[in-house]
Amino acid sequence: MIVPEYLRYSSDHEWVRLEGKRATIGITDYAQDSLGDVVYVELPAVGERVSPGGSLGEVESTKSVSEVYSPVSGTVVVVNDTLNDFPQNLNSEPYGTGWICEIEVDDVSEVDELLDAASYRLLTES
């Protein structure tokens, strides 16, 4: 399982990369592996307001349908429309072309409350 050190993680298996006040969000390698082959992604709408634990959409796989939750509060400013045609990018590159959206974060300190890589590894190993 890949867990990049430079990202932060939610206990719901989303990752966050913060650059200034903008957070890129995706699902972790652990999450995509648990889901199996992803066949459809429901993306949030640009302009949508989200809060921690609020829905960012759904991921449908050959095994199940799972909610994607926002790890931070803010406004969705960009979505990865490529996932409409290539949902399998969530499986092949969860930390690359498989990102879901970018959020303009209300309070960047929320990211500090998320898990670091070591803590996320412990979560997934238990």
63: pLDDT strictly greater than 90: no
Mean pLDDT (the chain, rounded): 96
Q: How far is CA 33 from CA 25, 38, 51, 56, 113, in A?
A: 17, 10, 26, 19, 25
Band (44; pLDDT cuts 50, 70, 90): very high
CA distance 117 to 49: 27
Q: Do 70 and 54 touch, CB atoms closer than 8 A?
A: yes
Query: How much of the chain, in percent, has pLDDT values that exceed 70?
Result: 100
CB 27 within 8 A of CB 94: yes
pTM strictly above 0.85? yes
Structure tokens that stand for 12 in this block: 């719901």
CA dist 34 and 64 (Å) reads: 10
Sketch out the chain's domains with CATH numbers: 8-114 (2.40.50.100)
pLDDT at 126: 81
Q: How confident is the model at residue 40 (pLDDT cuts 50, 70, 90)?
A: very high
What pLDDT score does 1 carry?
A: 86
